[in-house]
């Protein structure tokens, strides 16, 4: 380390200008990567021992000192100072303070370029498991509510207009299915992110750290990166992680939008628990779904984070460039935002009370049984195009009389069209309409029960994946059992 405390000052005649250092110094949030940097330092110390640059006793002293630094940092006794340009400078400063010249040996055979790529990748692989657990937690809240409402009849909508009756459980599970795919995207992302940048050094590879396959295994990777330039210059794994986070938040935003509607006075489908709602400072009667609103707002931020990463990458020559330091801001924001949003939204869903009576009363509003008439005619040989016209005219007649299809008598049906006999009345209930949709993926209660069983089995498998990670874990306050 140079006299100025920098890792790079040897060839310079003058110290760095304060203005330059204010721009160059890592944002304070970047130092949260310290535990991952220390893990990588310990793996690199073992690599230097294998290369013959460290004796066993030296490696043990370095690893012991690094363990002490990790504990002191975790407990707030070791903190960055103004001259620590980044997390790597911070750790090396502490190491040389404790070990003297021996601490400086650790820098051989590596670069801040491969360190920076590695630290964030370790952070994201660890964070992906935590994120998956929270997404699963929201799925489980939806599943728990769905189990209570398999037979609950609700109006289904398209274009936000009444469409057809559905099982309310089926509506809830539609959101759970999107979230299940989000966890699958994280798992798929992790498979591609499981290669270690260590050993790439600045960009050409290391002449000293020649067993990066072993250090990769020590840090929970599947293998080292195949290409050293790609290892330090690529951030598509960051862009892809932020995409998955943004896609997840978009799905959360769609759920939030429905929670607004369902809890509104006009819908009245659900009652929010007091502990997951807020009030107004001026209107005492208000009970607001603020959690859902904040969730919807954060989706915009995460979409912006994704645009930031993609724009950062699009014009870079292919190796390491300082532009890449912006990767951490976007990645941290995406992960932190979801880790704050998901538990709150899960609590809102788990604690809400469903107004079954309101759902049933509204399930046939807006002529949602019209398709039953058209299907009934079609099964009796009427071409569907003609059946559609007959049903549309019947709806028009009901509108003029101010009645619903389910309110018609057998005599009124026959008077309208002789093909509409009394057996049609058996199909003109919300329960019959739901039961009729019994194909795969349909809303019939039997199919919903099967969907629930499959989804619960998949959630067990997803939790097992999140709990089986072999790499460094540094989210102890949020860790959950697999």
Cα 389 versus chain centre, distance? 45
Distance from C-alpha of 241 to C-alpha of 462, rounded to nearest angstrom: 17
* CATH class, 20-108 region: mainly alpha
Distance from C-alpha of 405 to C-alpha of 366, rounded to nearest angstrom: 10
Structure tokens at 44: 């690199």
Distance from C-alpha of 105 to C-alpha of 21, rounded to nearest angstrom: 25
Distance from C-alpha of 114 to C-alpha of 459, rounded to nearest angstrom: 35
Instruction: Give the Cα-Cα-Cα angle 282, 285, 286 (nearest 5 degrees).
Output: 75
Q: Which fold has domain 113-150+162-203+219-362+445-467?
A: Fumarase C; Chain A, domain 2 (1.20.200)
pLDDT at 7: 65
What is the residue extent of each domain of the chain?
20-108, 113-150+162-203+219-362+445-467, 370-428
Helix (H) / strand (E) element for 345: namely: helix 326-351
Cβ contacts of residue 323 below 8 Å, gap of 6+? 312, 316
Distance from C-alpha of 90 to C-alpha of 282, rounded to nearest angstrom: 50
Per-residue burial over 103-121, b if 16 or more Cβ lie within 10 Å, else e, is: bebbbbbbbbbbbbbbbbb
Instruction: Give the Cα-Cα-Cα angle 71, 76, 81 (nearest 5 degrees).
Output: 110
pLDDT at 266: 94
Cα 475 versus chain centre, distance? 16
- Provide the 10 A C-beta neighbour count for residue 467: 14
Distance from C-alpha of 232 to C-alpha of 212, rounded to nearest angstrom: 14
196 is catalytic: no
Distance from C-alpha of 17 to C-alpha of 4, rounded to nearest angstrom: 11
Residue 404's nearest CA partner among 428, 423, 420 is 428
Distance from C-alpha of 232 to C-alpha of 371, rounded to nearest angstrom: 58
Q: Where are any strands of DSSP class E within 248-351?
A: 270-271
Distance from C-alpha of 203 to C-alpha of 230, rounded to nearest angstrom: 8
Distance from C-alpha of 349 to C-alpha of 267, rounded to nearest angstrom: 17
Of the residues 14, 159, 275, 281, only one is catalytic, namely 159
Q: Which fold has domain 370-428?
A: Ribonucleotide Reductase Protein R1; domain 1 (1.10.40)
159 is catalytic: yes
Cβ contacts of residue 346 below 8 Å, gap of 6+? 134, 137, 138, 140, 141
Q: How long is the chain? A: 482
Distance from C-alpha of 22 to C-alpha of 402, rounded to nearest angstrom: 72
Distance from C-alpha of 337 to C-alpha of 189, rounded to nearest angstrom: 19
Distance from C-alpha of 192 to C-alpha of 237, rounded to nearest angstrom: 8
Blockwise average pLDDT, block size 10, the chain, 482 residues? 59 78 84 98 98 98 98 96 94 97 96 97 98 98 98 97 98 98 98 98 96 98 98 98 98 96 95 92 89 95 97 95 95 97 97 98 96 97 96 96 95 94 96 97 98 98 96 72 39
Of the residues 2, 29, 280, 438, only one is catalytic, namely 280
Contact (CB, 8 A) for 37 and 115 = yes
DSSP 8-class letter at 15: P
């Amino acid at each position: 380390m140079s006299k100025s405390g920098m890792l790079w000052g040897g060839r310079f005649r003058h110290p760095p200008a304060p203005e330059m250092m204010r721009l160059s110094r890592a944002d304070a949030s970047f130092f949260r990567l310290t535990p991952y940097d220390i893990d990588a330092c310990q793996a690199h110390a073992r690599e230097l021992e294998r290369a013959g640059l460290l004796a066993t006793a030296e490696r043990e002293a370095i690893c012991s000192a690094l363990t002490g630094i990790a504990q002191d940092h975790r407990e707030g006794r070791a903190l960055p100072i103004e001259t620590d340009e980044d997390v790597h400078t911070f750790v090396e400063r502490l190491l040389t303070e404790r070990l003297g010249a021996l601490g400086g040996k650790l820098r051989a055979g590596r670069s801040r370029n491969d360190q920076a790529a590695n630290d964030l990748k370790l952070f994201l692989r660890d964070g992906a498991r935590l994120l998956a657990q929270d997404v699963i937690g929201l799925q489980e809240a939806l599943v728990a509510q769905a189990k209570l409402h398999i037979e609950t009849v609700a109006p289904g909508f398209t274009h936000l207009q009444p469409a057809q009756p559905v099982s309310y459980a089926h509506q809830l599970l539609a959101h759970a299915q999107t979230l299940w795919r989000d966890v699958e995207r994280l798992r798929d992302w992790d498979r591609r992110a499981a290669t270690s940048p260590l050993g790439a050094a600045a960009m050409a590879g290391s002449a000293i750290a020649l067993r990066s396959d072993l250090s990769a295994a020590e840090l929970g990777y599947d293998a080292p990166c195949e290409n050293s330039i790609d290892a330090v210059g690529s951030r598509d794994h960051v862009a892809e992680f932020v995409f998955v986070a943004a896609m997840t938040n978009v799905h959360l935003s769609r759920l939030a939008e429905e929670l607004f509607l369902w809890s509104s006075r006009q819908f009245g489908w659900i009652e929010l628990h007091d502990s997951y709602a807020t009030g107004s400072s001026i209107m005492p009667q208000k009970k607001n779904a603020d959690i859902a609103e904040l969730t919807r707002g954060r989706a915009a931020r995460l979409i912006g984070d994704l645009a930031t990463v993609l724009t950062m990458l699009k014009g870079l020559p292919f190796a390491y460039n300082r532009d890449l330091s912006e990767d951490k801001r976007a990645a941290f924001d995406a992960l932190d935002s979801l880790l704050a949003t998901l538990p709150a939204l899960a609590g809102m869903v788990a604690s809400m009370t469903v107004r079954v009576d309101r759902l049933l009363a509204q399930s046939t509003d807006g002529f949602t049984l019209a398709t039953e008439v058209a299907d009934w005619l079609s099964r009796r040989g009427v071409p569907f195009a003609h059946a559609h016209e007959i049903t549309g005219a019947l709806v028009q007649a009901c509108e003029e009389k101010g009645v619903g299809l389910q309110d018609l008598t057998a005599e009124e049906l026959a008077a309208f069209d002789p093909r509409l006999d009394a057996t049609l009345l058996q199909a003109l209930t919300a329960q019959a309409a739901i039961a009729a949709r019994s194909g795969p993926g349909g809303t019939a209660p039997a199919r919903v029960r099967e969907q629930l069983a499959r989804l619960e089995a998949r959630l067990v498998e997803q939790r097992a994946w999140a709990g089986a990670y072999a790499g460094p874990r540094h989210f102890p306050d949020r860790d959950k059992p697999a």
